[in-house]
Chains A and B, each alone.
Chain A
Amino acid sequence: MEAVLDQFDAVLKAFGYTALLFAVSGVFSVLLGTLLVSMRVGPIAVLNRAAAVYITVVRNTPLVMIFMFFQLGAGKVWNLLNFQWVDIHIGTLDFTSFFTAAVVSLSLYTACFVAEALRSGVNAVPLGQAEAARAIGLPFSGVMSQVVLPQAFRASVPPLASTLIALLKNTSVAAAFGVLEAAAQMKIFTNNHADQRWGIFIAFALGYIILVEVVSLFATLLERRWRIA
C-alpha cells in the first residue's frame, strides 16, 4: 500500500487516463451506436442487414483482437490508420497514437452493445403506443419523436448504463496496448513492489469500484428522474 500512497500522483494520473478513455470512447460509441440502431430498426432492408451483420461480428470478437488489429494491423493496411498524426498534449497528459487506437477500438466494440441496449429500449415500448399514435393521425416523425423515442430512451437507461460500466472496465484492455492507464500502472507497481501486492491490488480495485459506483449512481438518478408514474 505504501507504494501506492508514495506515488499517489502517478496513480491519479493513471486513473485520469482510464476516465478519459471512458469519456471519449463513451461519447463515440453512443454516437455510433445510435447510428447503428437507426439503421437496425429503419425501413431500409439493406441497411438493416448491414447493421445486423456488423453487430453480430463485432460483439463476438474478443476486444483484444480488435485492439490488436488497430495496434498492429491497421497501420500496415492504410497509413492513415496508424494514428501517428495524433499528437496532442494537455497538461501532463499525452494523447498519442496509442490512446487514439484504444479509443477507436473501444468505440467500435462498445457501439454494438449500445445499439443493442437502445434497440431493447425501442422493443420495450408497448405496441399499443405506436398504434394509438398512428390512430390519432401523427405522421412517422411525430410517432417517433413524440411517442416512441421518449419512452424508448427512458427504457434503455438501465441497459445503456450496464454497457457503459462494461466499457469502463474494458478500458483496462488498453494496458496491454501502450496506454499507461490504471491497470498498466498496477502492473508496474506489482512488478516493482513484490511485498505489497495485496495492498496494491486492493487499492486499484477500489479505484475502479469508485468509478463504477459513480457511473451507476448517475444512471440510477437519471432513471428515477425520468421514470413516469
Chain B
Amino acid sequence: MPAAVLFDAPGPATVARHRIYTFVGIAAIAGLIAFAFYRLWASGQMTYEKWEPFFTPRYIEAILVDGLLITLQMAFLAIIGAVVFGVIFGVGKLSDHAWLRWPCWLVVEFFRAVPVILLMIFCFYAIFGDFEPLNTRTYWSVVLALTLYNGAVLAEVFRAGVNAVPKGQAEAAYAIGMRKTQVMTLVLLPQAVKIMIPAIISQCVVALKDTALGYVIAGVGLTRMARQIFPTFQNHVATIIVIASLYILVNLLLTWLANWVQRKYVGEKKVLEVSMVGEHGTTTGAPFDSR
C-alpha cells in the first residue's frame, strides 16, 4: 500500500511538524553514528595496526582466495546439490502415489524443521568423521548440511512453482494424449522453472549466509579467515566489520540479480509463496487431480 493513500496531503501545520520530526530523526541518527565512531576511536579500534591486514596484499589475497572463494564454492555446491534434491523430492511430493508422496513429505518436513547447525554437527561427527584434514571435513559437512536444508526448502518452492502453472496447461497436455511424465517434463517443468528462478537465487543468499554457520564446527572459508586473523592482530572489531561487509556485498549482488531476473522473466507477478514449515492442511498436492 503506497503511503500516499494512508496519509492526507500534509497541510502547513503538518509540514512544520514533519520538519521537526525530520530534524530530530537526523540528529538522533547522526548522534548514534557519531557515538559509534567516538567509541571506536576512544577504544583504539581505529589505529592503523588494527586495520593493517586489510591493506597488506598477502592478507587480502588470503581473505579473497582462502576465504571468499571457498565460501562461494561451498554455497555454489550446496545450491547445485539442493536443486537436485529439491527436484527429486518436489516431484515426489507431487506424485499420485501415496507410498511415494508421504516419505517425500516426511523427508522434506524433517530437514526444514531441523536447524542447519544440528545437521552440520551430525555430518561433522557421524558422516565425515574420518575425513582428513580438518579443513576438508568441515568443508564437506557444511556443504552436505546446506544441501539437505536448502534442498528441502527448494522442494517446497518447486512444488509451489509447478502448482502455480495454470491448471489448463496440464489438462490440455493430457487432452492431446501425453503421459504423466511427459506432462511434467515437457509442459509443467519448463514453465515452473521460469517462475522459480528468482526464488532459487534468493535461496542462494540464504545458503551463502548459512555457510558462516560452519563456525560451529571449526569454521571454514571467511569465518575461518576471521579466526586466523584475530590472534595475530587482536583486531576483532575491524576483522568482523571487513568480513561482514564482504558477505553483505555478495548478498546484495545476488539480491539485485534475483530482482533483475524477476523483472525480466517473470514480470511484476507476485513472488512465489511457500508455506511455512509444519503448516497444516497443505500437505497433499497432486496437480493432476481435478480439485
Q: Do A and B come from one complex?
A: yes
Interface residues of A (CB under 8 A from B): 41-47, 50, 56-57, 60-66, 68-69, 72-73, 76-78, 122-123, 125, 127, 130-131, 134, 140, 143-144, 148, 158, 161-162, 165, 169-173, 175-176, 183, 186-187, 190-191, 194, 197-198, 201, 204-205, 208-209, 212-213, 215-217, 219-220
By a CB distance below 8 angstroms, the chain A residues around B6 are: 41, 130, 140, 143-144, 148
B34 CB, nearest partner CB in chain A, Å: 14
How many chain B residues have a CB neighbour from A under 8 Å? 57
The answer to whether B244 touches A197, judged by C-beta atoms less than 8 angstroms apart, is no
Enumerate chain B interface residues (CB-CB to A < 8 A).
1-3, 5-8, 10, 18, 21-22, 25-26, 29, 36, 39-40, 43, 45, 110, 113-118, 121-122, 125-126, 205, 209-213, 215-216, 223, 226, 230, 236-237, 240, 243-244, 247-248, 251-252, 255, 276-281
Question: Do A72 and B247 have beta carbons less than 8 Å apart?
Answer: no
A137 to B258: give the CA distance in the assembly, Å. 42
**Which partner residue on chain A sits nearest B36 by CB separation?**
A77
| Alpha-carbon distance between A161 and B277 when the two chains are bound, in angstroms | 10
Specify which of A68, A123, A204 lies most central, judged by the most chain B CB atoms within 10 Å of its CB. Answer: A68
Task: Find out whether the CB atom of B236 lies under 8 angstroms from the CB atom of A72.
Answer: yes
Looking at chain B's contact residues, the main secondary structure is helix
Which of A41, A56, A172 lies at the interface centre, i.e. has the most chain B CB atoms within 10 A of its CB?
A172
The answer to whether A64 and B215 touch (CB under 8 A), given A43-B10, A76-B237, is yes
Chain A CB count within 10 A is highest, among B22, B113, B211, for B113
Complex partner residue of B278 from A122, A204, A212, CB under 8 angstroms? A212
Q: Assess whether B18 is in contact with A76, with CB atoms less than 8 Å apart.
A: no
Contact B125 A46 (CB under 8 A): no
Return the 10 tightest CB-CB contacts between A and B, nearest first. A62-B212, A216-B278, A60-B251, A64-B212, A172-B115, A197-B126, A162-B276, A169-B115, A172-B117, A73-B237
